[in-house]
Structure 1
Amino acid sequence: MTDILNAIVALLNFVVIPGAAYGAQLALGALGVTLIYGILRFSNFAHGDTMAFGTMATILFTWGLQALGVSFGPLPTALLALPLGIAATALLTLGTDRLIYRFYRRAKAAPVVLVIVSIGVMFVLNGIVRFIIGVGDIGFDDGARFVINARDFREATGLREGLALRTTQVITLVTAAICVALLFWFLNRTRTGKSMRAFSDNEDLALLSGINPEKVVRVTWIIVAALATVAGVLYGLDKSFKAFTYFQLLLPIFAAAIVGGLGSPLGAIAGGFVIAFSEVFVTYAWKKVAGYVLPDALEPGGLVQLLSTDYKFAVSFSILILVLLFKPTGLFKGKSV
């Protein structure tokens, strides 16, 4: 029985808790992608670097608060700086739309043209972020490190495995839940949110109903900026900030949005957790868990790891290809890619 409990704790430590936190981060990122696709009707390849910009702005404001002696007690100071980071990112997305995307939108450019334009914006943003804050790893997770400490857990339970629950993981799950609840409340309960849904379903009919398209576009970019910044900051707190990492995150974020169904907010959330747990499940070395649950004679000699963590993005890519081949509308029947 003790070995079973040790196996469960090991699973919680290395699969369930990290997968849930990573899934929440991908879900918030995928929500931004699916809102742009559903309302503005193009795939925004600059979304990953928008996350990087929002995280960079939050880090800079965090450093400013710390220099002034401001902290948030056991919680990261970045949470205090987060609204400022969201505001800076909203100014960026609104400015980018005003200077670039609006021209092509009014010219009724094909979606593929907007995709190409967003790739250009992606490279520019990536260069700006790396120029301002550098290319190295940056940690900004001050405050209490653990909610549950592995050593204290082992002493309290007598188990060999110690459960470790990091503060950033709890913050990720709680913040993601609050953001999702607020987003769904906004889309379903407010007049502006209903206008956005109507614009997404049928643009021509929405215009005939008197909906202001420019207002819909502005609100969409502000919401996307908020989601991107929150997702980027949560990912940076949980791991660390490195500008190029957010460019790489674009693949699992798009995979999550497509698996769930592009244009479906609920699908984006489900897709985020599907991709996250798939990556964690395939790249985890199962030797420790197998050693607890299998007889000594059957205990594996190797790591029992299907793929190295260096190839975790291959999991996202494989799932993305399979979904595009066999179910292009995704799990929640979003818009076909």
Structure 2
Amino acid sequence: MTDVLNALVLFANFVLVPGVAYGAQLALGALGLTMIYAVLRFTNIAYGDTMAFGAMCTVFATWWLQAAGITIGPLPTALLALPAGIVGAVLLCLLFDRTVYRFYRRQKAPPVVFLIASIGVMFMTNGLVRLIIGPDDRRFADGGRFIVQAREFKEMTGLAEGLAVRSTQALTLAVAVVVVIALFWFLNRTRMGKAMRAYSDNEDLALLSGINPDRVVFWAWVIAAGLATVAGVLYGLDKSFKPFTYFQLLLPIFAAAIVGGIGNPVGAIAGGFLIAFSEVTVTYAYKRFLSYLAPDGWAPDGLVQLLSTDYKFAVSFVILVVVLLFRPTGLFRGRVI
């Protein structure tokens, strides 16, 4: 029985807890992406770099607060700096909307034109972030590092394996829950949220009902930029801030949105956790886990790793292709890409 408990703790330590934190980050990113697709009806390739820009603004604000001696005890100072990052990302998105996307909206351009335009915006944003903060890793996390420490867990339980839960992992889940609840309340309870849903379902009927399309577009960008910043900051706190990493995150975020059903907020959340756990479980080395469960003498010699962590994004790509081939509307019947 002890070996089974050790195996479960090991699995929780390296698969369950990281998977939940990573899934929450992908879910928030996919929510912002699906908001843009639902309201503006185009695939925003620049979304990953929007996350990087918002996180970069938060990093600078965090460093300024830390230099001024302003902290919030065991919690990361980045929580105080988060509004500054959101404002920066919102201003960036509104700038590109006014200078790029609005022109094509007035021309009634097809979605592929918006997609190509967003690729140009992606390169501009990526270059801007690298120019300002540089291409290297930037750490900005402070406060308490662990909620549960492996050594204390071992002493408390007497098990050979210890469970470690970082504060950033718990914070990611808590913030994600609060943000998702606030978003669904906004969409279902407020007048603007209902207007956005109506505009997404039937644009012509919404316009006939007196809904202002400019206000809908404005709030769509505000919400998407806010979600991008929160997701980017949580990922940076959990790992570290590096501009190119957010470009790489675009694939799993897209996969999460499409697997769940692009344009469907519930699907975006489900898709985020599905992609996260798929990546973590496939790239985890199960040698120690199986050693606890296997009979004596049957312990595996190799790592028992299905795929190297260097290729974890291939998991997202494979799932994305399979879903597009066999269920283009996703698990929760969103729109067809």
TM-score bracket relative to the smaller structure? over 0.9
Cross-structure match for 1:8: 8
CA distance in 2, matches of 1:255, 1:307: 18
Q: Which amino acid aligns with 2:51?
A: M
Question: What's the secondary structure of 1:249's corresponding residue?
Answer: helix
Cross-structure match for 1:334: 334
Question: What's the secondary structure of 1:332's corresponding residue?
Answer: coil
Cross-structure match for 1:255: 255
Q: Which amino acid aligns with 1:4?
A: V
Segments of 4+ moved more than 3 angstroms: none
Cross-structure match for 1:285: 285
Cross-structure match for 1:153: 153
| Number of aligned positions between the proteins | 337
CA distance in 2, matches of 1:277, 1:42: 27
Cross-structure match for 2:23: 23
Question: What's the secondary structure of 2:147's corresponding residue?
Answer: strand
Cross-structure match for 2:38: 38
Cross-structure match for 2:91: 91
Structure 2, unaligned stretches of length 5 or more? none
Cross-structure match for 1:50: 50
CA distance in 2, matches of 1:296, 1:185: 54
Is 1:311 aligned to 2:311, yes or no? yes
Q: Which amino acid aligns with 1:65?
A: L
Q: Which amino acid aligns with 2:219?
A: V
CA distance in 2, matches of 1:130, 1:296: 53
Question: What's the secondary structure of 1:4's corresponding residue?
Answer: helix
Cross-structure match for 2:62: 62
- CA RMSD in angstroms comes to 0.5
Q: Cα distance, 1:254 vs. partner? A: 0.2
Q: Cα distance, 1:296 vs. partner? A: 1.9
CA distance in 1, matches of 2:241, 2:167: 17
Question: What's the secondary structure of 2:297's corresponding residue?
Answer: helix
Question: What's the secondary structure of 1:298's corresponding residue?
Answer: coil
Cross-structure match for 2:177: 177
Cross-structure match for 1:196: 196
CA distance in 1, matches of 2:161, 2:114: 51
Q: Cα distance, 1:155 vs. partner? A: 1.0
TM-score (norm 2): 0.99
Q: Cα distance, 1:297 vs. partner? A: 2.3
CA distance in 1, matches of 2:87, 2:153: 40
Question: What's the secondary structure of 1:334's corresponding residue?
Answer: coil
Q: Which amino acid aligns with 2:175?
A: T
Cross-structure match for 1:119: 119
Cross-structure match for 2:238: 238
Trace 1:206-225 onto structure 2 (pairs within 5 A).
206-225=206-225
Structure 1, unaligned stretches of length 5 or more? none
Deviations 1:159-214 (A, max 9, x none): 11010000000000000000000000000010000000000000000000000000
How high is the sequence identity, in percent, across the aligned residues?
69
Cross-structure match for 1:103: 103
Q: Which amino acid aligns with 2:255?
A: A
Deviations 1:100-126 (A, max 9, x none): 110000110010000000000000000
Q: Cα distance, 1:88 vs. partner? A: 1.2
TM-score (norm 1): 0.99
Question: What's the secondary structure of 1:39's corresponding residue?
Answer: helix
CA distance in 2, matches of 1:292, 1:138: 38
Trace 1:65-76 onto structure 2 (pairs within 5 A).
65-76=65-76
